[in-house]
Amino acid sequence: MKTLTKIIFTTALMLCMALYSNAQTSMDYNILIEDIEFQPGVTIDINVNVYVNENATNWANHGKIFGIEGMAHTANCLKPFAEALFDDSFQGAEINEFYAIDMPGRGGSGLPVGSDFLLEDMYIEDYLAVIEGALSYLNDDLNVYPKTILGHSLGGLEVILLQQKLINEGSNLKMEYKIKNALLLAPAIPGPLDWAYINGGGSAGLFDYIDYFTPEYGTVLNLPYYVWPFAFFTNTCCYFAPDMVPGAPSPAEVLANGYNGIEPAPLLLQISGAQIPPGLPYPYKPRPTVDEGIFKSKNGVQLTIVADEFDKMMTPDEEWELYQYLTKDKHGKRFFLVLGEESCHDTHISDPHAIVELLDKPYIFKSSEVEEDIIFTHNVKVYPNPVQSNSTIEVELAQNANLELRIYNQIGQLVETIYNGQIEKGNHTFQLTTEKLPVGLYTLRVQSGDKSEIIKIIKIK
């Protein structure tokens, strides 16, 4: 009898401890922002998932991130990345909360209300107004000021377009919302830059999932949960539908985790610049464009872009061109590339640790003011960049000096010393042969006296 009593008592104690543990660790919560007006007389309720780092040591505002997911993704999709940041980054204790927004009609968010307005009537400008409404609510009603805005895929494009919109209004993300960092994961590409996925017709495959007969929503892109993994977890290297990269969720997990969501059909057509298919009564809207240099330091926000080597939607060289176009930074200090045959468009879900490892640098989530542009007294150029087989390095020296030119791979290993020795002032050219180098991201370090320069070089096929 004593033994039975002991077993019952022990079991009850373990159950209480488990319940207490769950209560202690289940700190995540949701915010429902009601009645965001994004058009006159048209409102929407927007859900924001808040992922909380229970091990955080710094609860200042600069430890908060506001995240926007990609096309047909819900806020739930950002949870694996948020948790990887909390657990694996040396600065994880500095990041305390991750606010992930569910866009209209997705996850816990509602549908438009008023004036017979349907989800199908929403365009990119409506999405930007919804994002601003959510940020304003966090700032004004909750006194929360995230210092980093994160966007994946379409969410990345929305961050770019929001910065452009605010600049057009005489402001920027920092002035308007106190945001100092923009982190974009595999962002969709605005005009005027080329985008092979849409120009080559890859996006046309998504048109098959436009539902023409949805009375509640209107005409929407509805990617079924059993198709969703194959769209985002195959790549251009080694995994083709129905095969997916390791770590990808199964269709059952997509359904259970609530990863997939609907998207207004006109929005898909707008971001791709595609012509309207027969039967859809929508005006043609051109692909959105942005100005060059909108993320230069004078515009208040430091930009980081992470690309994936075998992303089948956005190629690394396209993302590299986008980074340079937006920042005017030819050196690529905040451009990173996830390498390996397991990389895909949704690496932040299948292998978020690979991204966190690249971002584990103190200046990525920096809370101080944006750095001024680096000015090097010597002129250094690398062309072509991206490079396939050979590239030329030009160095202009103002005086005689010892010059070092060294190439490093992405994990900091020395790959090649191109030159190391005394050299006279003037213009000099050096050849970089990359034929035998694997595809990936490399760093050229130029050292002359006490002056140094870092330039990222991307090797493509």
Give the long-range contacts of residues 450-453, CB within 8 A, separation 24 or more.
451/376, 451/377, 451/378, 452/376, 453/331, 453/374, 453/376, 453/378, 453/380
Tokens of 338: 């996830």
Judge if 402 and 328 occupy the same domain.
no
Q: Give residue-wise pLDDT tens across range 23-44.
A: 444 589 999 999 999 999 999 9
| 373 found inside a domain | no
- DSSP letters along 118-157, please? -GGG--HHHHHHHHHHHHHHHHHTT----SEEEEETHHHH
pTM value > 0.85: no
On the CB side of 186, CA atoms within 13 Å amount to 25
Residue 165 belongs to domain with CATH number: 3.40.50.1820
| 188 found inside a domain | yes
Judge if 288 and 398 occupy the same domain.
no
| 94 found inside a domain | yes
Point out the domain boundary residue: 309, 326, 359. 359
Q: Quick one: average pLDDT of 158-182?
A: 96
- DSSP letters along 358-407, please? HH-STTTT--SPPPPPP--SSEEEEESSSBSSEEEEEEEESS-EEEEEEE
How confident is the model at residue 187, as a pLDDT? 98
| 369 found inside a domain | no
Cα 329 from chain centroid (whole Å): 18
Point out the domain boundary residue: 309, 325, 359. 359
How confident is the model at residue 17, as a pLDDT? 39
Point out the domain boundary residue: 331, 359, 387. 359
Judge if 303 and 352 occupy the same domain.
yes
| 8 found inside a domain | no
Judge if 164 and 277 occupy the same domain.
yes
How confident is the model at residue 155, as a pLDDT? 97
Q: Give residue-wise pLDDT tens across range 76-125.
A: 999 999 999 998 666 677 788 999 999 999 999 999 999 889 999 999 99
Rounded-to-integer distance, Cα 432 and Cα 318, Å: 22
Q: Which residue has the higher pLDDT, 241 or 233?
A: 233
How confident is the model at residue 88, as a pLDDT? 67
pLDDT tier at 212, thresholds 50, 70, 90:
low
Q: Which residue has the higher pLDDT, 230 or 453?
A: 230
By residue range, what is the domain housing residue 210?
28-359
Rounded-to-integer distance, Cα 339 and Cα 442, Å: 11
Q: Quick one: average pLDDT of 420-446?
A: 85
Contact indicator for 112, 59 with CB cutoff of 8 Å:
no
| 367 found inside a domain | no
Judge if 323 and 428 occupy the same domain.
no
Judge if 352 and 391 occupy the same domain.
no
How confident is the model at residue 385, as a pLDDT? 84
Overall residue count recorded for the chain in this entry: 461
Judge if 162 and 84 occupy the same domain.
yes
Residue 265 has pLDDT above 90, yes or no: no
Judge if 216 and 253 occupy the same domain.
yes
Collapsing DSSP to helix, strand or coil, 197 comes out as: helix
Judge if 256 and 295 occupy the same domain.
yes
Judge if 107 and 231 occupy the same domain.
yes
**Gyration radius from the chain CA atoms:** 24
| 270 found inside a domain | yes
- DSSP3 helix / strand / coil % (the chain, rounded to 5): 30, 25, 45
How confident is the model at residue 60, as a pLDDT? 75
Judge if 345 and 251 occupy the same domain.
yes
| 368 found inside a domain | no
Number of domains the chain is built from: 2
User: Mean pLDDT over all residues of the chain?
Assistant: 86
Q: Quick one: average pLDDT of 219-243?
A: 92
Collapsing DSSP to helix, strand or coil, 90 comes out as: coil
Q: Quick one: average pLDDT of 201-220?
A: 77
Residue 408 belongs to domain with CATH number: 2.60.40.2550
Q: What percentage of the chain has pLDDT greater than the value 70?
A: 88
Tokens of 231: 């769209």
Judge if 334 and 427 occupy the same domain.
no
Q: Produce one character per residue of 441-454: b if its CB has 16 or more CB atoms within 10 Å, e if not.
A: bbbbebbbeeeebb
Q: Give residue-wise pLDDT tens across range 350-394.
A: 999 999 988 877 677 754 444 433 444 457 888 888 888 888 888
Q: Quick one: average pLDDT of 252-275?
A: 90
How confident is the model at residue 164, as a pLDDT? 97
How confident is the model at residue 366, as a pLDDT? 58
